[in-house]
Structure 1
Amino acid sequence: MEMRQLYYFAALAEETSVSRAAVKLSVAQPAISRQLRLLEEELGVTLFHRTGRGMKLTSAGRFFDTRVRKILTDLKELEHDVREMKGVVEGKVTLGMPPTESHILVPPLLQTLRQNHPGVDLHIVEAFSGDVSELLTTGHIDVALFYKAPRTKHYVADELLHESLYLLGSGDKPGPSPDPMKVRDLAGRPLVLPRRRHGLRALLDQICNEMGVELDVAYEVDSLMTLIRMVETGEVSTILPFNAVQRDVAAGRITATQIDPLELRRILVLATTAHHPVRAAMRIVAQFCAQTVRSLAASGEWQGIIARS
């Protein structure tokens, strides 16, 4: 059994097509077919069903695929570990975070990584906190920034920032009060909010239930941009952190009234996956994330209170 056979098999299992696997690997199609045939002959089993729609793993193929992926992952991590002994930090890292944070955090984070560790290949996944925590749980991302919610308290994660939330209204409405509003003042206002599966909504529901406040949720929308655009119409309000709309507020399209942080606030946390060892590249990304968040908060660009280490 040769290593190239394992790479060919993994590509074919992922692409389900010899032609697509050939393009991915930059290898001629006959070479892939020949190596797959040799591999099946050596193992004495059929790994793929050949159909008119492509290649489909057999039961033996699915078992083999699981083991092969672990072997290839271990090899890649071994390569990174050896390189790190020379002081070279490199490798792909997938970072997940909510869209409300991505636009303010990603530009300085990428610049810092490029200057200090150009070998780190950072991939960004944007999703609401509930989805980010789920992706971390399933091992689809390596490092995660998300907000604590009732269903994510079990995470062992570092607190970075305590962030205020704001009631957002149309720029055509009267300006915000200089004093924070109370949670009870949210009652009776038509709101557009994310669905209950998302962290922000879970937090709002929990706090309002505890305080006996009933929210008037007119619409449920999971898109950040759609939430903001709906608020601009003047028909509904929403609740988000200030950094999500600071440009809209500066342009006069949105008004933002702080909600009393003693009654309602979010806690931004940083966590890494438990599905595989934390490589140096992952540690670097996590470290730079924390530094960047704290730097933005200290400068006032990101409104929040830095959590104590």
Structure 2
Amino acid sequence: MNLRQLQYFVRIAEVGNITRAAEQLNVAQPALGLQIRQLEQELHADLLLRHSRGVELTEAGKLLLERARRLLQDVEEIKREFRGVSGHEQEMLILGLTPSIMLQIGPDMLLDAKQTMPNVSLSLVEELSYGLAMSLERGELNYAFAYGTDEPRPGVERKAILIEELLFVRPAVDTPLPESLTLAEALTHDLVQAGERDMVQRLLKSAAEKYTLNLRIVYEAQSIPAMRTLVVRGAASSFMPYGTAVEEIRAGKIAVQRISDTPLTRTLYLLKPSHAPVSRHQDAIDSFLDTIVKRLLESLGPLARRVGASAPNR
């Protein structure tokens, strides 16, 4: 048994599908399956029940998942502690970001880190919100900026930062479009969205059920670039955060409209482990994290507001 096998097993358990886990881990599926079979042979127990929709954990698998998560967190804690032993080495800050945040301010963040945290080395991890939360639980991140509407997760502290309005994005047209439209009007279009675990799709389904509207999701794509490409080609429209399509919006490759009657919003949280040790450079790190929030608010303009602030003018 080794740590890599445990990491692979945890990722499969979390996504419930060996193929998706292999894609996320950047590992060939046969090699991933072999590692799990070797782990099962080592423990003399079946860990996964395989079926057409993916995999489920056996009782032995559930037990291993609990122990493996705890062990991997301990390993990451040991690494963090020993990185700080030598005063000659820079402390490492591993920060998780969603793709939309990375597209908007990723390069600026790297420059800000140099100035704000000269004694801290910044490592950025880009993943969807639910993936960032899971990585934080495994002890792979120090902090994460993640969107979500779920209940708090065990072992993770979260602080609401800002509320962001989602946009309706559609293929570009020659004639000017109204700045806004109703949710019912937007939902008459064929849509491309991410999978069912994606927060935007969950918000859409909830709103459609609440107002008894039809939802026409004709394409599902876990790849954000693929979603944008379908919109640019005119195959579908989508609901997206501004940052997800910022380059195409600025280039005029897609058109955007706001929802006038029932705008869909998401909340950005700052996540960190509940029992994380205080950094030797905590003041600098806190200042850097606050700079990220300020840059995001500047980038989003009227589409976002700090939690507790009044709603922006439409």
TM-score range, shorter chain: 0.5 to 0.7
| Inter-CA distance 91–118: structure 2 relative to 1 (3 Å threshold) | same
DSSP-derived class of the 2:228 partner: helix
Structure-2 residue corresponding to 1:210: 210
What is the aligned length? Answer: 251
Partner deviation per Cα, 1:158-210 (whole Å, 9 max, x = no partner): 222211111111113643312x3222223221000000112222222222222
User: Does residue 181 of structure 2 align to residue 177 of structure 1?
Assistant: no
Q: Which amino acid in the other structure matches residue 163 of structure 1?
A: E
Q: Give the distance between the partners of 1:211 and 1:68, measured in 2 at CA.
A: 44
DSSP-derived class of the 1:215 partner: coil
Cα pair 2:165 2:304 within 8 Å, conserved: yes
Partner deviation per Cα, 1:31-72 (whole Å, 9 max, x = no partner): xxxxxxxxxxxxxxxxxxxxxxxxxx978xx99xx8899488
Q: What is the Cα deviation at residue 78 of structure 1? A: 6.2
Q: TM-score, normalised by structure 2?
A: 0.67
Cα pair 1:172 1:234 within 8 Å, conserved: no
Q: Which amino acid in the other structure matches residue 95 of structure 1?
A: L
Structure-2 residue corresponding to 1:279: 279
Q: Give the distance between the partners of 2:270 and 2:72, measured in 1 at CA.
A: 31
| Inter-CA distance 162–73: structure 2 relative to 1 (3 Å threshold) | closer
Structure-1 residue corresponding to 2:167: 166
Q: What is the Cα deviation at residue 109 of structure 1? A: 1.5
Cα pair 1:296 1:302 within 8 Å, conserved: no
User: Does residue 93 of structure 2 align to residue 80 of structure 1?
Assistant: no
| Inter-CA distance 237–91: structure 2 relative to 1 (3 Å threshold) | same
Gaps of 5+ in 1: 1-11, 17-56
Structure-1 residue corresponding to 2:30: none
DSSP-derived class of the 1:146 partner: strand
Deviates more, 1:251-260 or 1:129-138: 129-138
Q: What is the Cα deviation at residue 269 of structure 1? A: 1.2
Matches within 5 A, 1:117-156: 117-149=117-149, 151-153=150-152, 156=157
Structure-2 residue corresponding to 1:220: 220
Q: Give the distance between the partners of 1:69 and 1:239, measured in 2 at CA.
A: 36
DSSP-derived class of the 2:94 partner: strand
DSSP-derived class of the 2:163 partner: strand
Structure-2 residue corresponding to 1:190: 190
**Identical counterparts, % of pairs:** 19
User: Does residue 252 of structure 2 align to residue 248 of structure 1?
Assistant: no
Cα pair 2:162 2:269 within 8 Å, conserved: yes
Gaps of 5+ in 2: 6-40, 44-63, 310-314
Cα pair 1:89 1:117 within 8 Å, conserved: no
Cα pair 1:128 1:199 within 8 Å, conserved: no
Q: What is the root-mean-square deviation in Å for CA atoms of aligned residues?
A: 3.7
User: Does residue 120 of structure 2 align to residue 157 of structure 1?
Assistant: no
Structure-2 residue corresponding to 1:264: 264
Cα pair 2:83 2:92 within 8 Å, conserved: no
Structure-1 residue corresponding to 2:116: 116
Structure with the greater alpha carbon radius of gyration: 1
Q: TM-score, normalised by structure 1?
A: 0.68
Q: What is the Cα deviation at residue 286 of structure 1? A: 5.2
| Inter-CA distance 139–173: structure 2 relative to 1 (3 Å threshold) | farther
Q: Which amino acid in the other structure matches residue 207 of structure 1?
A: A
